Chain A
Amino acid sequence: MLSFIARRFLASLAVLLVASYLVYILAASTGDPLSDLRQSSLPNKTTLIQQRIELLNLDLPPYLRYFVWAGGVLGAFIGKFNLGDTVDGQHVTELLGSAAGTTLQLVTGALLIGIVIGVTLGIVTALRQYSAFDYTVTFISFLFFSLPIFWIAVMLKQFGAIGFNNFLADPRVSTPAVIVLSLLSGVVWMGIVGGSGRRRLTTFLVAAVAAATVLIFITLTGWLNNPTLGPVVTTGLSAGVAVVVTVLSTGWENKRSRYTALTVAGLGLVLYYPLHLLFDQFSIINTFTVLATVIVITALGGLVGWLWGGLDRWQSVRTGAITGVVVALILLLDRFLASWNIYFSQVANGRPIGTIGASTPDLVGSFWVTGIDTFTHLLLPTVALILASLAGYSRYARASLLEVMNQDYIRTARAKGLTERTVVMRHAFRNALIPITTVIALDFGALISGAIVTENVFAWSGMGALFNQALHKVDLNPIMGFFLVTAIAAISFNFLADVIYSALDPRIRVSA
């Protein structure tokens, strides 16, 4: 293993070195970095040109200038890391730092949600293979896969932002819309749950009526104008989460797990008012304290599981902890919604969904208001990225699970008399995740390079935008800085993918 890592490291270093030289020469040949000054009519044109030549060592030919740049990179070993300056004299290192931060903020959420939804869709379609639901999801995911992302993004801007903001001015769902949406919900849930004709009919009715109730409730109470959850809805949601988590993780028959999950849901209600008091202490509330609260509630969930115990104590702990995370997130959501009104009327002036940039400029507000601001600005680009990446994950998860479900050990598990839930969740799902893990690792590596097109449409200044602008200006140092960061990320996550794969699947050995 050690020799594998060492050899791989050296090979990657060589690849990086050669590729960076290549990229430098190629980037230098895209055009003339002085062209904007040459065409300008400023009186001090020659001085400016001279200054830029000195700043960027443009008097050296590119194949030598590379070594000036490489020297700056190697300066990292003596504490003088330097990626050079842009044509405007800014330091690339600082630019890269802020751009990478913006990009991570934009892409991480999209990637995580995309993975969760994609894998879930893939699993459900694999379990309902060749059903109408499967065909519909397959068609829709192929459709999104075939849509250019800027087309999706422009549409989202039109309908998601402008349309939805107009809708929010007078949030009433019309009767035909209620009927169509309810029927749609019924059909979708019927497809997901499946089963006999009678069960399908029941599912259809329950889902349709539930959707209709929610929509009518929203219309009648004007909920969207003044969205709050309150203790009652919060507890209801927590109880629902407790049931779902129990059913998926240990099965409803497991008494201790059931009690654990429901206790944690009750804990959410007990903590509701104390937490609100804590959350209103604006001076101490920031990202870290909120994160700490979530962790504490998760740990409490685990503790509840430990106390309930049972035949397999760790199962209860796991159920409790998972329920705890989700309950904590619901509590946070409730608190965020409580600040919605302030944001809606005072910051966004009634048009909350943002289409430009990462945040409202010069916004000063509590943690909750700035949180909502970030969310409303993230919403559309995130949806665009998710829609574009959904197809890949769902198709991959579907193929992977189908492959596993045909294995002999699944037949063995069924023959032992295990329930379908245990077979799917414990024997099939976990093994199906192994190949997906590698894809995810590779995608995380590619993530830092940003979503050039999405950033362009929504005017985010992330890595993609940095690279794009530098390319248009023939600005070598930012191009090379971008290349360095993305290449290192790609190489290390590629390597990580191999290691994870061999760790998860003992049949694979990394000795090559």
Chain B
Amino acid sequence: MSSIGPLPPVGTDAGLGPGGEDPRSALSRVDPTGSPVESTSIELKEVEGLSLGRVVLRRFRHHRAAMISLVVLFVVVILSFSSIGLHVFGLNTAGWWRWTFDEVPSIVNGGQPTLTIVPFEIGSHPFGQDSVGHDMFAMVMRGIQQSLMIVFVTGIVSTFIGAVLGAVAGYFGGLTDSLLMRLTDMVIIVPLLLLAAIVGNAVNGPSVILASVLGLLVWTTLARLVRGEVLALREREFVDAARVAGASSARIMFRHILPNTVGVIVVSATLTMSATILLETAISYLGFGVHAPDVSLGLLISNYQTAFTTRPWLFWWPGIFIVIIALTINFIGDGLRDAFDPRQRRGLKRSARLDKKKAELAAAAQAGS
């Protein structure tokens, strides 16, 4: 099989010819000239005989920035959770770091950071202390935990709601679609800060609640994207085939159609997460997010912004970690988008360009001789 045409829908048994082969590949093989079109076969050679998942994984692994980001993010996660341990739902484990984020040790050397690169030394307070004596390293680690938790909870909640509502609206159409889309319009115009304020003032609960509430508000983009995809997909043959085979609406939606929108969902979820981390910091900054005595990265910056001239490290460290987390998630999202986009043939383009250059050089050499 030299060319397989467009990628076959994943997770569908219907619509495939004998041997699981996409019938459309047979069409593209029957070419007026009798041979497969040269460019198509070159473009598709790298994905020949691979499932969508493997193709995506392979492309993603070749995205250098995304892979580096993945490693960096992983290191940050390990660092924050191992250093001060886990503190959720009354579960407390100790970490290897000597202070916790709510301890108040005595101030050493005016609270200056003890971290030095040459000679490498961590010291007792690598990121310094605030004017009370809180250890900045422990607080930043706690802040990272809070921010990451909020990002993931919001990501999961919003992705779930967005994907389900988008799929239902796109699949059923008509009145359901109109009602759900008007609901989306409504959620878009409700000010986000208002709900954050309710969580902050009225509920005053743990940040998990704040994260879930954020998730209840930021699903709208995903719902619209999924709806658009589903609108196109439900007209495809494999949906008809599944319906003829007697599948229920729910089964068609969740087993046949949604797996095909996984690219859109994954990419949008990542971008939502990277937006959420900034959202959380902004809300905490305005005083509606995570509350003292707990800390988040945004709250740390907000608390210490007036200390910028006297104790700049209180301002720098949380900011640097916000940037690292947001940047890595953004690059991972970018890598995923490139990986899921079948039109992206970046590596190939570069090698094709090299070939062209070689050919030109050869031609020039010939002309010169």
A15 & B286 in contact (Cβ 8 Å cutoff): no
Residue of A nearest to B312 (CB): A158
Given contacts A149-B282, A150-B305, A452-B286, whether A15 and B189 have CB atoms under 8 Å apart is yes
Q: Mark A489-512, 1 if CB is under 8 A from B, else 0.
A: 011001000000000000000000
**A18 contacts which chain B residues (CB < 8 A)?**
186
Find chain B residues with CB under 8 A from A283 CB: none
Chain A residues touching B, range: 35 or more
Q: A154-B305, A154-B315, A453-B285 are in contact. Are A23 and B190 (CB under 8 A)?
A: yes
Tell me the minimal C-beta distance from B202 to chain A in angstroms.
6
Alpha-carbon distance between A471 and B283 when the two chains are bound, in angstroms: 12
CB distance from B62 to the nearest CB of A (A): 13
Report A-chain residues with C-beta under 8 Å of the C-beta of B178: 11
Cβ B191 vs Cβ A146 within 8 A: no
CB of B288 within 8 A of CB of A471, answer yes
Contacts of A148 in B (CB 8 A): 278, 281-282, 285, 298, 301, 319, 322
Bound Cα distance A158, B306 (Å): 11
> Given A29-B198, A30-B201, A154-B305, A143–B323 Cβ distance below 8 Å?
yes
**Could you give, for residues 445-456 of chain A, a 1 whenever the CB lies within 8 Å of some chain B CB and a 0 otherwise?**
000010011001
Binds A, one of B5-13, B92-100, B324-332: B324-332
Complex formed: what's the CA distance from A498 to B274 in Å?
28
Question: Which residue of the partner chain, among A31, A146, A150, A467, contacts B193 with CB atoms under 8 Å?
Answer: A467
- Give Cα A148 to B321, complex, Å: 11
Chain B interface size band reads 35 or more
* A143: chain B residues within 8 A (beta carbon): 323, 327
Give chain A residues whose Cβ lies under 8 Å from the Cβ of B198. Answer: 26, 29-30
Task: Assess the A31–B202 pair: CB atoms within 8 A.
Answer: yes
| B282 CB → nearest A CB, Å | 5
- Chain B residue at smallest Cβ distance from A488: B189
Give bound CA distance, A12 to B63, whole Å. 43
> A479 — which chain B residues lie within 8 A by C-beta?
194
Given contacts A148-B282, A151-B319, A456-B286, contact A30 B202 (CB under 8 A): yes
A142 within 8 A of B: yes
User: Does A291 count as interface, using CB distance less than 8 angstroms?
Assistant: no
A165 interface residue per 8 A CB criterion: no
Most chain A CB within a 10 A radius of its CB, from B186, B195, B322, B343? B186
B287 part of interface (Cβ distance < 8 Å): yes
With A453-B285, A471-B288 already in contact, 17 other A-B pairs whose C-beta atoms are closer than 8 Å: A15-B185, A15-B186, A26-B194, A27-B194, A29-B198, A29-B202, A146-B330, A148-B282, A148-B322, A151-B322, A158-B309, A452-B282, A453-B282, A467-B191, A471-B193, A474-B201, A486-B189
Q: Chain A binding site: helix, strand, loop or mixed by DSSP? A: helix
Which parts of A137-165 form the interface with B (CB within 8 Å)? 139, 142-143, 145-151, 154, 158
Tell me, rounded to whole Å, the shortest Cβ–Cβ distance linking A132 to chain B: 13
Interface contact B331-A142, CB-CB below 8 Å: yes
Q: Is the pair B287, A486 in contact by a Cβ cutoff of 8 Å?
A: no
Q: Give the most central of B278, B288, B298, B301: most A CB within 10 Å.
A: B278
Partner of A150 from the list B189, B202, B282, B331 (CB cut-off 8 Å) is B282
* Cα distance, A150 to B305, chains bound together (Å): 9
How far, in angstroms, from A490 to B190 measured CA to CA in the complex? 11
**Chain A's nearest CB lies how many Å from the CB of B183?**
9
Cβ-neighbour of A130 out of B182, B193, B350 (below 8 A): B350
Interface residue B308 (Cβ < 8 Å from any Cβ of A): yes
Let me know if A5 is at the binding interface, CB within 8 A. no
B115 interfacial by beta-carbon distance below 8 Å: no
User: A29 contacts which chain B residues (CB < 8 A)?
Assistant: 198, 202
